Amino acid sequence: MKTFIPSKFIVERDPARCIQCQVCVNQCSFAVNSYDAADNEVMADENNCVGCHRCVVFCPTNALNIRKNTLDYRENYNWRPEAIEDILKQAETGGMLLTGMGNDKGYKVYWDHILLNASQVTNPSIDPLREPMELVTYLGRKPDRVEIDPVTHTLKNAMPPQVKLNVPVMFSAMSYGAVSLNVQHSLARAATEAGTFWNTGEGGLHASLYPYGDHTIVQVASGRFGVHSKYLNAGQVVEIKIGQGAKPGIGGHLPGEKVTAEVSRTRMIPIGSDALSPAPQHDIYSIEDLAQLVYALKEATGYRKLISVKIAAVHNVAAIASGMVRAGADIIAIDGLRGSTGAAPKVIRDNVGIPIEMALAAVDARLRQENIRNQASLVIAGGIRNSGDIAKAIALGADAVYIGTAALIALGCTACQQCHTGKCAWGICTSDLALTKRINPEIGSRRLVNLLRGWAIELKDILGGMGINALESLRGNRLHLRGIGLSDNELKILGIRPVGD
Amino acid sequence: MPANPALKKPHNSIIEINAQDIATHELNNQLKQAVAAGANKILMKNVCGQRYIGTDINSPVEIEIEGTPGNDLGSFMNGPRITVHGNAQDGCGNTMNEGEIVVHGHAGDITGLSSRGGRIFIREGVGYRTGIHMKEYGNKKPIIVIGGAAQDFFGEYMAGGVLVLLALNMKDSDYHRTRYMGTGMHGGVIYMRGRLESHQLGREVGTAELNGADHEVLSGLVGQFAGHFDLNADKILRHEFTKLFPLYHRPYGRLYAY
């Protein structure tokens, strides 16, 4: 069927600069560029272009530029190009629209409406370059009371298991199959070097990644792929995945084409078979059932590992989080509206869930009201872009954040939203071996460690400016936040005062 | 862990545990201690609702249970052979990798959920969603044989392994009451006795007569079942069986627009 959808981008090739080297032909995994040997000319089929910039970055003579196709429809606020083209796609395929990455709609980004405080006159700021600054964070259940032996000055309580983060940033769950093994190697090495954690996602743990166990979170989700006793004990944290910000309430589906020999071995399913992750976990229909799985996993790991429970931020998130804490979770992970995905139905990604800022504020407040905030650590995810977002998240009550998209951008991702096609030209979200080798774990981990180092320095600067020398003192300290351009109700839910107040 | 006075060693390698009034965590600790002490066989008496029995034991030890074990019996199990003289509750054999569970009674919902290996034999009936999302890999192939009937969503999402539904409590002319049987099935096989209306089957399921290879698998499994419960295998096999199989290995292939 002829498609009525116009191309999204225009490939501009400067003939004066193009040397017909065909790097762009080889780099483009969407088959945009091609070489005509008879005419010694490189050409472009722009219909296929996704705007990922791989060709632009690798063109040795800077001959390429990708521009948005400015082809205009008659102006109509309701029938904008996206609405028209989505209908065309469905009329041409009869399927549900599938997409990748996180919600790209213009919902309010609350981080951009929150401002941080700093010290002036009445209390001194601290210079982090010359004075000690503490970013270390321990995740895990904390005792209700701390008792110190007066003689030995040591802790008398038995401490539940804890994990230590040198920076309050972990890498979100991204499964092998969704991302490539080289991406997971980059994440695992970077987490180990930076003293934080990476997360296997629901795809098992490849044999070559077991050595990074001290910095690994293993995930148990509804498909139970690759879950066995060695896997459960391989990491420091076992995360039960209930939901994901990009697709709350929706299961997963790794198509058979992506189940290669290595993916099959790691997921423990036959090569080429569809991997279906059902929407619910069928042993969890209630908080009581969640408690049952939490304790099943504690039994299966000898009570040595932390159990995290991850949910998507939905309307009733505070009450759900309270139940999760009471079910025995050591970590509550909440993924917001802008959380990303390797593949999700577009209508779900774009319309379901609530922003993580609101969910975080509501959950932290609720757990404090109920005097159970100490019983679990709070980790948030879903659109964290920089250290400013992190500082605001910590002040709103988070113990740490997960980053997924930001980590992939560090590896080269340009957020072109083609993850679901398996053709990622940057070699990130694909299992095509010709593409996956584009990520070198040595270089990838360096880029990730650099990012975390940069953010750590910035966080120390932010703390120093506030006159605080430990991240712990900012945690849940909403007096350091002010809202700008927010309604009274939004301020109330965020638990912060407006600017100038 | 303090030494446990309840651990008795009546014979060389048989250890007895009295589960009376012992909480789940403590009972499982005692079980692990008994395995660590080198027991080949552990006899658990007066079990009443304690969960997760057999979890985190990675050896082919024999565990005999008198009473009613609680939910998630043998969850994530990797090796033990459990015999229950009583009924099992929900989640029996949840995400099991290896081992065997033999229940001289009923079992509850989600028996064998997401199991990848091991064998489960239930003398009587089972609850909802039995064998849901069972999968096989390499030489691992989970097997569940049920003597009685099953509730709805039997074999849902099934991706591998073998489910056998003997329905010995039914006459050949009786209809099953289960609905949505094998819905979403994309691998594995179900052998069943008793009659079904077509609307009781999931849309992704086909029915066929058993061929020679099927009969061989079925008679092997019925033989084991009959051996566990002292029944006559030949008599069971004289009944008529139907084979349920997935019509498509990719049931959700044409679902998406790119």
State the average pLDDT for chain B.
Answer: 93
Mean pLDDT, residues A2-31 taken together: 96
A contact test, residue of B31, B50, B53, B56 with most A CBs within 10 A:
B56
How far is CA A75 from each of CA A7, A81, A107, A380, A406, rounded to the nearest angstrom? Answer: 18, 9, 22, 39, 34
CB contact under 8 A, A274 and B250: yes
At the top level of CATH, which class does the domain A166-462 belong to?
Answer: alpha beta
Mean pLDDT, residues B86-112 taken together: 97
- Name the percent of chain B in helix, strand, coil, to the closest 5: 15, 30, 55
User: What span, in angstroms and rounded, lies between the C-alpha atoms of A46 and A420?
Assistant: 20
CB contact under 8 A, B255 and A96: yes
User: What span, in angstroms and rounded, lies between the C-alpha atoms of B158 and B155?
Assistant: 5
Q: Is pLDDT at B6 greater than 60 in this prediction? A: no
Q: Which tens digit of pLDDT belongs to each residue from B118-138?
A: 999 999 999 999 999 999 999
Compare all CA atoms of chain B with the CA of A293 and give the residue at the minimum distance: B72
User: What span, in angstroms and rounded, lies between the C-alpha atoms of B249 and B204?
Assistant: 9
Q: How far A473 CA lies from chain B's nearest CA (Å)?
A: 37
DSSP state for residue B108 in the 8-state scheme: -
Say whether residue A269 is in contact with chain B using an 8 A CB cutoff: yes
pLDDT of residue B4: 55
Mean pLDDT, residues A353-373 taken together: 98
55-114 in A: which are within 8 Å (CB) of B?
Answer: 89-90, 92-98
CB contact under 8 A, B133 and A89: no
pLDDT of residue B10: 47
Q: Count of alpha carbons within 13 Å of B154, Cβ hemisphere only?
A: 29
User: What span, in angstroms and rounded, lies between the C-alpha atoms of A32 and A17?
Assistant: 19
pLDDT of residue A430: 92
CB contact under 8 A, A292 and B136: no
CATH superfamily of B106-246: Glutamate synthase, alpha subunit, C-terminal domain (2.160.20.60)
User: What span, in angstroms and rounded, lies between the C-alpha atoms of A276 and A456?
Assistant: 38
Which residue from A253, A269, A421 is facing B159, i.e. has the nearest CB? Answer: A269
Closest C-alpha among A346, A448, A358 to residue A86: A346
Mean pLDDT, residues A282-311 taken together: 96
Which residue from B97, B133, B137 is facing A229, i.e. has the nearest CB? Answer: B97
Backbone angles phi, psi at B3, to 5 degrees: -60, 145
Say whether residue A279 is in contact with chain B using an 8 A CB cutoff: no
Cβ neighbours of residue A259 closer than 8 Å, sequence gap 6 or more: A177, A267, A269, A270, A271, A272, A273, A274, A275
231-250 in A: which are within 8 Å (CB) of B?
Answer: 232
Domain boundaries, chain B: 106-246
User: What span, in angstroms and rounded, lies between the C-alpha atoms of A397 and A373?
Assistant: 10
pLDDT of residue B255: 78
| Gyration radius of chain A over CA positions | 24
User: What span, in angstroms and rounded, lies between the C-alpha atoms of A198 and A241?
Assistant: 15
Compare all CA atoms of chain A with the CA of B27 and give the residue at the minimum distance: A299
CB contact under 8 A, A253 and B28: no
Q: What angle do CA B222, B127, A324 make, to 5 degrees?
A: 130
Task: Note the Cα B208 to chain centre separation in Å.
Answer: 24
31-70 in B: which are within 8 Å (CB) of A?
Answer: 51-52, 55-56, 58
User: What span, in angstroms and rounded, lies between the C-alpha atoms of A289 and A283?
Assistant: 7
CB contact under 8 A, A282 and B113: yes
CB contact under 8 A, B250 and A278: no
> For chain A, what percent of residues have pLDDT higher than 70?
100
pLDDT of residue B190: 98
Q: Which tens digit of pLDDT belongs to each residue from A153-164?
A: 999 988 999 999
Which residue from B75, B97, B156 is facing A296, i.e. has the nearest CB? Answer: B75
| pLDDT category of residue B150 using cuts at 50, 70 and 90 | very high
Mean pLDDT, residues B228-232 taken together: 97
Asked whether the beta carbons of A360 and A402 are under 8 A apart, the reply is no
pLDDT of residue A96: 93
Domain with CATH 3.30.70.20 in chain A: 9-95
Q: Concatenate the DSSP letters of all residues of A255-321 into one string.
A: -GGG--HHHHHHHTS-TT--EEE-SS-TT-SSHHHHHHHHHHHHHHTTT-SEEEEEEE--TTHHHHH
Say whether residue B75 is in contact with chain A using an 8 A CB cutoff: yes
Q: How far A329 CA lies from chain B's nearest CA (Å)?
A: 17
User: What span, in angstroms and rounded, lies between the C-alpha atoms of A228 and B118?
Assistant: 13
Cβ neighbours of B111 in A, within 8 Å: none
Cβ neighbours of A292 in B, within 8 Å: 51, 71-72, 91
* One-letter amino acid of A342: G
Which runs of E-coded beta strand occur in B49-200?
A: 62-68, 78-85, 98-103, 119-122, 143-146, 159-165, 187-193
User: What span, in angstroms and rounded, lies between the C-alpha atoms of B201 and B244?
Assistant: 9
Q: Is pLDDT at B95 greater than 50 in this prediction? A: yes
Say whether residue B180 is in contact with chain A using an 8 A CB cutoff: no
The sign of the torsion formed by the CA atoms of A52, A57, A61, A66 equals: positive
CB contact under 8 A, A268 and B140: yes
User: What span, in angstroms and rounded, lies between the C-alpha atoms of A413 and A405?
Assistant: 8
- The CATH number of A9-95 is 3.30.70.20
| pLDDT category of residue B250 using cuts at 50, 70 and 90 | confident
Say whether residue A492 is in contact with chain B using an 8 A CB cutoff: no
Mean pLDDT, residues A48-61 taken together: 97
Q: Which tens digit of pLDDT belongs to each residue from A483-500?
A: 999 999 999 999 999 999
State the average pLDDT for chain A.
Answer: 96
Q: Is pLDDT at B3 greater than 70 in this prediction? A: no
Q: How far A420 CA lies from chain B's nearest CA (Å)?
A: 8
Compare all CA atoms of chain B with the CA of A278 and give the residue at the minimum distance: B157
User: What span, in angstroms and rounded, lies between the C-alpha atoms of A430 and B127?
Assistant: 40
CB contact under 8 A, B94 and A283: yes
**Range with the lowest mean pLDDT among A178-182, A275-279, A411-415, A465-469?**
A275-279
* One-letter amino acid of A485: G
User: What span, in angstroms and rounded, lies between the C-alpha atoms of B246 and B184?
Assistant: 8
pLDDT of residue A245: 97
Cβ neighbours of residue A230 closer than 8 Å, sequence gap 6 or more: none
pLDDT of residue B12: 62
User: What span, in angstroms and rounded, lies between the C-alpha atoms of A356 and B157?
Assistant: 33
Mean pLDDT, residues A441-468 taken together: 98
Mean pLDDT, residues B170-182 taken together: 94
A contact test, residue of B133, B141, B154, B156 with most A CBs within 10 A:
B133
Cβ neighbours of B133 in A, within 8 Å: 222-224, 276, 278, 282
* One-letter amino acid of A370: E
| pLDDT category of residue B256 using cuts at 50, 70 and 90 | confident
Compare all CA atoms of chain A with the CA of B128 and give the residue at the minimum distance: A282
Mean pLDDT, residues A417-426 taken together: 94
Closest C-alpha among A58, A59, A61 to residue A16: A61
Domain with CATH 3.20.20.70 in chain A: 166-462
User: What span, in angstroms and rounded, lies between the C-alpha atoms of A34 and A44?
Assistant: 6
Q: Is pLDDT at A413 greater than 60 in this prediction? A: yes
